[in-house]
Structure 1
Amino acid sequence: MKAFRCRVCDNALHLENTVCVSCGTALGFSRSERALVPVDATGQYVDATGLVWHVCANLNLSGCAWLAPLQGGQCSSCDLTRTRPSDDDVVGLQHFPAAEQAKRHLLVELDTLGMKVVGKDPARGGDPENGLAFDLLSSVEENVVIGHENGVITIDLAESDDAHREKVRAQLAEPYRTMLGHFRHEFGHYAEWQLVRGDELMARCRELFGDESVDYQAELQRHYDEGPPPGWEESYISTYATMHPFEDFAETWAHFLHIADTVETAREYGLLTIAAVGAFAQFRDVVTGVWVPLSIALNQINRSMGKDDVYPFVIAPPVLDKLDFVAGLLPLDG
């Protein structure tokens, strides 16, 4: 994540800042400029070309301060949310901002990596067949299954609650579970659906991840009945990745984003003196030369604070091949 600064007083800022805590300037996020910019008392910002932008209409609902092209309208991130909790769902609305924050973080990552994302609404320049949409649903009154289908990502807003998420993580014996992780994983399914096309890519994908045509429900049942196969650590990034080739790809994609984003953040804040991730010839060089020593150091720092490891995973050689493959699907802007 980029290290943002206030254009008025040069104070350090973070992506979710809506006001500079130093000088009090109201802020909006300009997606085209990849910057937090000052907005006037009416929530307007005029860019270098003379275009007038407005703070998103959902500022008070979800904390979104991204800039929208129309006064009283939504920004490009909020446009991707197809379904949200109803106005009378108090619990769902409490959890809604954390999910939207994770979605905005994901979109900034994808912009940085050069992957253009469009919605499904043709009235907003979307693609009904290949575009992306999010259903952010509250499980207060209904069962919500996190997943992806035909460009629609469903997220259970209960996962915004730390106690609930930790309980599920412990039940499933997972080493890691976050809202941002859910968004990265589910987007991995969408990415495979969109990017792995053509005989050569399909063949290489199957070589690395397995035959995706195997029955998903049968493999899901096998996974929960039997657990991961012995020695899974030698070929997979997580136990869930062993369930089905689709899940192996999505887990690998999520870890690609974990690694790329953390390395870029460390670089932005002066912890690393390296070129941007996109400047490396192969992503495996980022993993072996930068990420492995960095993650070891971060884990030790967390342990020094009595906390769990930041990155409780081991990257085996076959996983490195998979990470290199998924990274190669994107242009990786330098």
Structure 2
Amino acid sequence: MRVFKCGQCDNPLFFENTKCENCGQLSGYWDNNRQMLTFDPSSSVLISDREKIEYRYCKNQEHDICNWLVPKNAEQDFCRACQLNRTIPNLSDRENFQKWRNLEVAKHRLIYQLQRIGLDLPSKMTHPNGLCFDFIAKTENPNIMTGHANGVITILLREADAASREQAKQVMNERYRTLIGHLRHEVGHYFWEQLISKDQDALQSFRSIFGNEEENYNEALKKYYETGAHPNWSRSYISKYATSHPWEDWAETWAHYLHIMDMVETAHYFGLKVNNKTFSKNMKIAPSKDPYTIEDFEIIVQTCVSLSFVVNSINRAMGIPDVYPFVITQVVLDKMKFVHQLLLPKRKL
């Protein structure tokens, strides 16, 4: 993610900030041009410092959930990210409220990235082939699970609880389990339907790389949970779960592609660079660039590998887990290249 600054004093702002901690200006995110706009806190209206245009906050700002902006005269009360919510939890429950808040932080970052790529995000409430989110407590429907179906992404609230998520991570022997990871994975299923299933050329290329998705999905998952991944899974897959079925391999690969793009974009905007002398002569460390402007995905991966090694080393120095504990083999890289090439025409630089 890019670095945002206060329009008044140039102080850095986090993506979720509603106020500059240095000068006190109000702040809000305007997704039309991916800018953080700032406003005079003493004024009764939100007139941006940069554009001198009047805005208002998304309606969910009243819950301290969203800092995105909408034009003052817009028909919609909600921003483009919050318009995708179909179901939110009962907010009278304090625990539910905090979990929803955690989910919205991750979801807004996801929507930022999908918009950055240039993907269309119609709401399923107004478009049959659109996208929407259901954030649901397990107690409301004991049979419901986190997942995707026909454009509806369901995330159980327990995933927003750090202790529950860590417990699930240990039970399922996963190396990485985060809210943003869940959302990136599940939205990958949606975009498989939008970008691949309806395009015969893309579908044939998909099958040559990931396998035949017509394999019985339920039987494949049942077999995976009974026997697990084969011993040499890491040579061809980014995770054990990716071995279960071509659809899951795609969704896991898609999620990691988004992880890598966000990591490299963030490093670029912060000006982070890795000293070439630290690594072997065989590793080419590319200069820092915005990954969304790079056509050759190998350059992006080379940057990611060096960055993740450095950040993982810092984490280990502090006694905490690696931020990116995965190995990208040539087979996995080829899968990510397929995702990258599929998305290149969508770019809106």
TM-score (norm 1): 0.93
**Which amino acid is 2:260 matched to?**
I
Q: Relative to structure 2, which stretch is displaced further, 289-298 or 45-54? A: 45-54
Q: List alignment gaps of at least 5 residues for structure 1.
A: none
Contact 1:96 1:136 in 2 (8 A): yes
Return the match for 2:91 from 87, 92, 101.
87
1:145 aligns to 2:178 (yes or no): no
**1:18 and 1:278 mapped to 2: Cα distance?**
27
**2:47 and 2:258 mapped to 1: Cα distance?**
31
SS of 1:148's equivalent in the other structure is strand
Q: Name 2:284's counterpart in structure 1.
A: none
Q: Name 1:59's counterpart in structure 2.
A: 61
Deviation at 1:142, TM superposition (A): 3.3
Q: Relative to structure 2, which stretch is displaced further, 82-91 or 63-72? A: 63-72
1:103 aligns to 2:107 (yes or no): yes
Encode CA deviations 1:205-241: one digit per residue, 9 max, x unaligned: 0111111111111111101100001211111000000
Contact 1:43 1:55 in 2 (8 A): no
Contact 1:242 1:248 in 2 (8 A): yes
SS of 1:36's equivalent in the other structure is strand
Q: Name 1:233's counterpart in structure 2.
A: 234
Deviation at 1:57, TM superposition (A): 1.3
**Which amino acid is 2:309 matched to?**
I
**1:62 and 1:183 mapped to 2: Cα distance?**
21
Deviation at 1:112, TM superposition (A): 1.6
Aligned residues: 328
**1:87 and 1:271 mapped to 2: Cα distance?**
40
Specify whether residues 215 and 316 from structure 1 end up closer, same or farther in structure 2 by C-alpha distance, changes over 3 A only: same
SS of 2:59's equivalent in the other structure is coil
Q: Name 1:244's counterpart in structure 2.
A: 245
Encode CA deviations 1:174-221: one digit per residue, 9 max, x unaligned: 000000101100011111111113221101101111111111111111
Deviation at 1:43, TM superposition (A): 5.5
Q: Name 1:266's counterpart in structure 2.
A: 267
Deviation at 1:290, TM superposition (A): 1.1
Q: Name 1:301's counterpart in structure 2.
A: 314
Contact 2:30 2:37 in 1 (8 A): yes
Q: Name 2:277's counterpart in structure 1.
A: none
Contact 1:158 1:164 in 2 (8 A): yes
The within-5 A match list for 1:13-28 is 13-28=13-28
Identity of aligned residues (%): 41
Encode CA deviations 1:82-125: one digit per residue, 9 max, x unaligned: 00012333322221011011110001111222223121233xxx
SS of 2:343's equivalent in the other structure is coil
**1:62 and 1:140 mapped to 2: Cα distance?**
25
**Which amino acid is 1:130 matched to?**
N
Q: Relative to structure 2, which stretch is displaced further, 312-321 or 289-298? A: 289-298
Specify whether residues 325 and 44 from structure 1 end up closer, same or farther in structure 2 by C-alpha distance, changes over 3 A only: same
Specify whether residues 15 and 4 from structure 1 end up closer, same or farther in structure 2 by C-alpha distance, changes over 3 A only: same
SS of 1:28's equivalent in the other structure is strand
**2:261 and 2:195 mapped to 1: Cα distance?**
18
Q: Relative to structure 2, which stretch is displaced further, 36-45 or 8-17? A: 36-45
SS of 2:148's equivalent in the other structure is strand
**1:256 and 1:37 mapped to 2: Cα distance?**
29
Q: List alignment gaps of at least 5 residues for structure 2.
A: 274-286
TM-score (norm 2): 0.89
Contact 1:185 1:254 in 2 (8 A): yes
Contact 1:284 1:321 in 2 (8 A): no
**Which amino acid is 1:232 matched to?**
W
**Which amino acid is 2:60 matched to?**
N
**Which amino acid is 1:275 matched to?**
K
